[in-house]
């Protein structure tokens, strides 16, 4: 049987080991067969006018830059929340407020989450090796688990203290100091939340975003302490522990959201809009007749992708390779934080339905 009657599978992976200028333009004369002269000139101009590169050094620099941003955010968060916790702890010792105690414990736990995240960011800088061939980016997902467990532990402690105070009511003193500490807690947590979420979204860190959302909820629970102080001021001894229980409930809501985000990342979840962008981009590549499955996954701060495309069977191997290069480059330029793509080429058998499922055969 003639080889053209079979569907050939050409695997093309462009990763950090191969300089982009050789890969895209200097491989062989056959690259000139793909697309029009204007399309080639436009593609070359894009490399000249943009800072995008596939070099290994650039990718390492990018990872280190995002890690530095993450570490800077963690250090500042640790300082702000640590200061807030110390101030609140002093007021707790003076006043005996259970609601403020719950808020203080939670702020302390939130500050300490900087430790596993910091370790993860440091590990993420390490280069891939023969054992960890994709690098150490998954350490950040493990840090996310540690954060979720920390939130759960702090909610359990806050609940225990609140229930204990309901069973054994006591007066709360220094109410003005409690109110001031509550406001300080809100301001500190909201600043940290905004900073963490902004940095986490910029560098693609789900763990840092989850930690930021955690801090934001802490800010609102700090304001809830004001309710307990107000109730105690009018003689309602139950108000302070009840607010403590409300704070516990708020912490549990944060726990649910943070656990969902971390579990989604562990299950290789990506935004469906990114897949839509990738499919649209592949369909616009010259020579691509159809596309098959497109898969993506996060590894630390970076995305990796695999995609199947269908081309005409009469293309030579060199032409098919050039189309894979064009498809891979288009993906990396179009999808934010995509650092590597593997493109599978399938030849469309003459007369076959271009929308039929892709086949992966080898020549006899």
364 domain-assigned: no
Give how many domains the chain has, as a whole number.
2
- Per the structure, the complete domain to which residue 341 belongs is given by 19-53+270-347
Using CA atoms, how far apart are residues 350 and 364, in angstroms rounded to an integer? 17
Residue 188 is encoded by which pair of tokens? Answer: 């500190």
CATH for 48: 3.30.70.1350
232 domain-assigned: yes
pLDDT of residue 35: 42
220 and 284 housed in the same domain: no
Buried b (16+ CB within 10 A) or exposed e, 63-75: beebbebbbebbe
9 domain-assigned: no
pLDDT of residue 276: 95
Using CA atoms, how far apart are residues 334 and 301, in angstroms rounded to an integer? 17
Per-residue pLDDT of the chain (364 residues; tens, 9 = 90+): 444 333 333 344 444 333 333 333 333 333 334 444 444 434 433 333 333 333 333 333 344 456 677 778 888 888 888 888 899 889 888 888 877 887 788 778 777 777 887 888 788 778 889 998 888 888 888 888 888 888 888 778 778 777 877 777 777 778 888 888 888 888 888 898 888 888 888 877 776 787 787 777 777 777 778 777 788 777 787 877 787 788 788 778 878 888 888 888 888 899 999 999 999 999 999 999 999 999 999 887 788 999 999 999 889 999 999 999 999 999 999 998 898 899 999 876 544 555 554 444 333 3
Q: Is the pTM of this model over 0.85?
A: no
pLDDT of residue 53: 35
6 domain-assigned: no
Residue 201 is encoded by which pair of tokens? Answer: 């979204």
362 domain-assigned: no
214 domain-assigned: yes
192 and 134 housed in the same domain: yes
305 and 337 housed in the same domain: yes
128 and 251 housed in the same domain: yes
Q: What are phi and psi of 117, to 5 degrees?
A: -65, -40
236 and 119 housed in the same domain: yes
61 and 47 housed in the same domain: no
pLDDT of residue 169: 73
84 domain-assigned: yes
136 and 110 housed in the same domain: yes
3-state helix/strand/coil string of the chain: CCHHHCCEEEEEEECCCCCHHHHHHCCCHHHHHCCCHHHHHHHHHHHHHCCCCCCHHHHHHHHHHHHHHHHHHHHHHHHHHHHHHHHHHHHHHHHCCHHHHHHHHHHHHHHHCHHHHHHHHHHHCCCCCCCCCCCCCCHHHHHHHHHHHHHHHHHHHHHHHHHHHHHCCCCCCCHHHHHHHHHHHHHHHHHHHHHHHHHHHHHCCHHHHHHHHHHHHHHHHHHHHHHHHHHHHCCCCCHHHHHHHHHHHHHHHHHHHHHHHHHHHHCCCCCHHHHHHHHHHHHCCCCCCEEEEEEEEEECCEEEEEEEEEECCCCCHHHHHHHHHHHHHHHHHHCCCEEEEEEEEEECCCCCCCCCCCCCECCC
Environment class of 251 (CB within 10 Å of its CB; exposed 0-12, middle 13-18, buried 19+): buried
pLDDT of residue 347: 78
220 domain-assigned: yes
Residue 85 is encoded by which pair of tokens? Answer: 């916790």
Using CA atoms, how far apart are residues 357 and 97, in angstroms rounded to an integer? 65
CATH for 236: 1.20.1510.10
34 and 166 housed in the same domain: no
End position of a domain, from candidates 233, 266, 299: 266
End position of a domain, from candidates 209, 232, 266: 266
125 and 259 housed in the same domain: yes
256 and 297 housed in the same domain: no
Q: What is the CA radius of gyration of the chain?
A: 27
Contact 309, 327 (CB under 8 A): yes
254 and 338 housed in the same domain: no
End position of a domain, from candidates 219, 247, 266: 266
Q: Which residues, at least 6 apart from 337, have a Cβ–Cβ distance to it below 8 Å?
A: 204, 301, 302, 303
pLDDT of residue 361: 38
275 and 247 housed in the same domain: no
């Amino acid at each position: 049987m003639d080889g053209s009657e079979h569907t050939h599978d050409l695997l093309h992976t462009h990763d950090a080991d191969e300089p982009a200028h050789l890969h895209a333009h200097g491989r062989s004369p056959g690259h000139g067969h793909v697309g029009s002269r204007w399309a080639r000139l436009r593609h070359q101009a894009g490399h000249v006018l943009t800072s995008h590169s596939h070099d290994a050094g650039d990718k390492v620099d990018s990872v280190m830059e995002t890690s530095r941003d993450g570490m800077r955010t963690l250090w500042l968060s640790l300082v702000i929340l640590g200061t807030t916790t110390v101030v609140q702890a002093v007021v707790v010792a003076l006043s005996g407020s259970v609601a403020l105690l719950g808020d203080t414990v939670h702020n302390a736990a939130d500050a300490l989450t900087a430790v596993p995240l910091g370790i993860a960011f440091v590990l993420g800088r390490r280069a891939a090796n023969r054992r960890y061939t994709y690098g150490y980016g998954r350490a950040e997902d493990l840090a996310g688990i540690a954060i979720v467990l920390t939130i759960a532990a702090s909610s359990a402690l806050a609940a225990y203290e609140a229930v204990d105070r309901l069973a054994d009511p006591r007066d709360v003193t220094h109410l003005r100091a409690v109110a001031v500490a509550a406001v300080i807690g809100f301001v500190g947590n909201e600043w940290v939340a905004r900073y963490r979420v902004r940095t986490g979204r910029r560098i693609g860190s789900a763990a840092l975003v989850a930690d930021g959302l955690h801090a934001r909820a802490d800010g609102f629970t700090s304001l809830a302490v004001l309710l307990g102080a107000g109730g105690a001021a009018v003689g309602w001894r139950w108000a302070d522990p009840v607010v403590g229980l409300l704070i516990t409930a708020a912490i549990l809501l944060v726990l649910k959201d943070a656990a969902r985000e971390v579990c989604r990342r562990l299950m290789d979840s990506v935004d469906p809009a990114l897949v839509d962008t990738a499919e649209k981009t592949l369909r616009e590549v010259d020579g691509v007749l159809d596309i098959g499955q497109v898969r993506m996954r996060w590894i630390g701060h970076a995305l990796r992708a695999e995609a199947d495309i269908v081309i005409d069977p009469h293309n030579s191997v060199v032409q098919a390779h050039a189309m894979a290069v064009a498809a891979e480059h288009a993906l990396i330029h179009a999808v934010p934080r995509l650092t590597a793509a593997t493109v599978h080429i399938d030849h469309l058998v003459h007369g076959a339905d271009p929308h039929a499922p892709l086949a992966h055969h080898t020549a006899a």
